[in-house]
């Protein structure tokens, strides 16, 4: 297989692969290990405050001198209305009662104590740190941010889950589009938070390829040579690897979470809004079941902020029923090898194909 293409030239990488920016999983060490394998590492900044973004970027720079992307969330923040305040208090009471039933001692935040950072502050930090590749999800950057970043010679990678979202990104001047299928692990990159497109990845990829004139990256279920080559056949210039790296040595997941992944079956994987308020695919557990049955789900980021302390407490206790363990539909054994070795094994497998 010929690896070099437009994507590798734009990103200055050896192989057209991207390590997925998995918030809560990706570490600076994972980014550096991916870069060592000749692919693009991605540092997930999510909605972290600017000072934390700066710290993570600088840590990553100390570990690798190769290009890496930074990834941010560009979602809209719902207005804090009286109705939302009431919903929050009800959801908080429900979560506190559920935690108490399961002998989990946790204090959940009041709505007025929640901070919701603006991604524009992240853009300022990204530019100050001279990051030249920026990917984003949950929508599109505003026109001013696009202009600022592109004037700084920054490559922009948007995420789409429908043809229309891809067209919006193309019209905005986004350089590369990551096409995310419904089977991908973790959060949907959809512009909408609730009424999301539910389109199979390979079908979506083929349609997007016929609809836009932008280099495409495919994300969703890529875990071996066959899945990678299928994406290439349907028009992707590169692939994004996420779930394949969840069990890696550099993953931020704890061993009890990795073990849960290794024992999961396809029927354990569900799409849910219960932990964050946005749809994400992962392993169902007691918390997901209870919230789905109750209907007590707040919009992102309020649900995410509400459940944060609960997830942190459960993680410290090794309790898989109250942590979010995201994974896609393609279960793969979740190797504990280094990110570098996992990616190189995939590259070798592709090269062995006739």
Q: Based on the domain organization, do 21 and 160 belong to the same domain?
A: yes
Q: Based on the domain organization, do 105 and 120 belong to the same domain?
A: no
CB 238 within 8 A of CB 217: yes
Q: Based on the domain organization, do 187 and 311 belong to the same domain?
A: no
Q: Based on the domain organization, do 306 and 342 belong to the same domain?
A: no
Which of 66, 34, 108, 120 is closest to 338 using CA atoms? Answer: 34
Q: DSSP string of 130-163?
A: T--EEEEESS---HHHHHHHHHTT-EEEEEESSH
Q: Based on the domain organization, do 126 and 269 belong to the same domain?
A: no
Please count the other Cβ atoms lying within 10 Å of the Cβ belonging to residue 103.
Answer: 8
Q: Based on the domain organization, do 188 and 302 belong to the same domain?
A: no
Q: Based on the domain organization, do 209 and 292 belong to the same domain?
A: no
Instruction: State which residues form the domain around 181.
Output: 1-77+116-251+333-354
Cα 253 to Cα 26, 259, 285, 315, distances in angstroms: 9, 10, 17, 9
**Within the chain, what is the greatest distance between any pair of CA atoms?**
62
Residues 6+ positions from 17 with CB-CB distance below 8 Å: 39, 40, 238, 239, 240, 241, 343, 346, 347
Kindly tell me the sign of the dihedral angle through the C-alpha atoms of 54, 55, 61, 64. negative
Which of 279, 282, 322 is closest to 299 using CA atoms? Answer: 279
Q: Based on the domain organization, do 205 and 148 belong to the same domain?
A: yes
Q: Which pLDDT tens digit goes with each residue over 150-169?
A: 999 999 999 999 999 999 99
- Does some domain include residue 215? yes
Q: Based on the domain organization, do 128 and 107 belong to the same domain?
A: no
Dig out the tokens for 341 from the structure: 């070795």
Q: What pLDDT, on the 0 to 100 scale, is given for residue 143?
A: 97
- Does some domain include residue 174? yes
Which of 95, 25, 9, 20 is closest to 303 using CA atoms? Answer: 95
DSSP H stretches of helix in the chain: 6-11, 28-36, 50-63, 82-101, 119-128, 143-151, 163-171, 201-211, 225-233, 255-262, 286-294, 302-317, 339-352
CB 327 within 8 A of CB 243: yes
Cα 241 to Cα 193, 268, 337, distances in angstroms: 23, 21, 15
**Paired residues of 217 in beta bridges:** 178, 238
Q: What pLDDT, on the 0 to 100 scale, is given for residue 296?
A: 85
Q: Supply the CATH number for residue 136's domain.
A: 3.20.20.70
* pLDDT beneath 70, residues of the chain: 354
Q: Based on the domain organization, do 140 and 219 belong to the same domain?
A: yes
CA gap 204, 239 in Å, rounded: 14
What is the count of structural domains for the chain? 2
Kindly tell me the sign of the dihedral angle through the C-alpha atoms of 310, 311, 315, 319. positive
Q: Based on the domain organization, do 13 and 123 belong to the same domain?
A: yes
- Does some domain include residue 258? no
- Locate tokens 């930074």: which residue? 70
CA gap 65, 73 in Å, rounded: 25
DSSP summary character for residue 110: P
Please count the other Cβ atoms lying within 10 Å of the Cβ belonging to residue 226.
Answer: 12
Q: Based on the domain organization, do 279 and 210 belong to the same domain?
A: no
- Does some domain include residue 223? yes
- Does some domain include residue 161? yes
Please count the other Cβ atoms lying within 10 Å of the Cβ belonging to residue 299.
Answer: 20
pTM over 0.85: yes
CA gap 199, 162 in Å, rounded: 7
- Does some domain include residue 257? no
């Amino acid at each position: 297989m010929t690896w070099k293409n437009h994507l590798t030239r734009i990103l200055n990488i050896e192989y057209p692969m991207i390590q997925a920016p998995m918030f809560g999983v990706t570490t600076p060490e994972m980014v550096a290990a991916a870069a060592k394998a000749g692919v693009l590492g991605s540092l997930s900044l999510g909605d972290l405050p600017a000072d934390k973004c700066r710290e993570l970027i600088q840590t990553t720079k100390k570990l690798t001198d190769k290009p890496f992307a930074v990834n941010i969330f560009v979602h809209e923040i719902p207005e804090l209305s009286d109705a939302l305040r009431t919903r929050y208090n009800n959801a908080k009471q429900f979560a506190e009662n559920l935690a108490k039933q399961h002998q989990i001692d946790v204090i959940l935040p009041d709505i007025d104590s929640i901070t919701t950072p603006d991604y524009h502050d992240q853009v300022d930090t990204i530019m100050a740190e001279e990051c030249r590749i920026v990917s984003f999800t949950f929508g599109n950057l505003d026109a001013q941010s696009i202009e600022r970043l592109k004037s700084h010679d920054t490559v922009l990678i948007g995420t789409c889950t429908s043809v229309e979202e891809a067209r919006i990104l193309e019209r905005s001047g986004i350089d590369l589009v990551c096409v995310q299928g419904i089977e991908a692990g973790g959060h949907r990159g959809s512009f909408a938070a609730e009424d999301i497109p539910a389109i199979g990845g390979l079908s979506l990829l083929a349609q997007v390829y016929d609809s836009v004139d932008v280099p495409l990256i495919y994300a969703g279920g890529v875990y071996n040579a066959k899945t990678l080559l299928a994406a290439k056949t349907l028009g992707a210039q590169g692939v994004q690897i996420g779930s394949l790296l969840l069990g890696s040595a550099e993953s931020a997941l704890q061993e009890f979470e990795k073990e849960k992944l290794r024992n999961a079956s396809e029927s354990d994987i569900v799409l849910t809004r219960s932990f964050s308020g946005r749809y994400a695919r992962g392993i169902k557990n007691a918390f997901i079941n209870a919230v789905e049955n109750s209907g007590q789900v707040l919009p992102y980021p309020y649900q995410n902020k509400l459940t944060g302390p609960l997830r942190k407490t459960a993680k410290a206790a090794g309790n898989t029923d109250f942590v979010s363990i995201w994974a896609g539909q393609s279960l793969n054994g979740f190797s504990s090898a280094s990110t570098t070795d996992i990616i190189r094994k995939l590259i070798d497998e592709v090269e062995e194909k006739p």
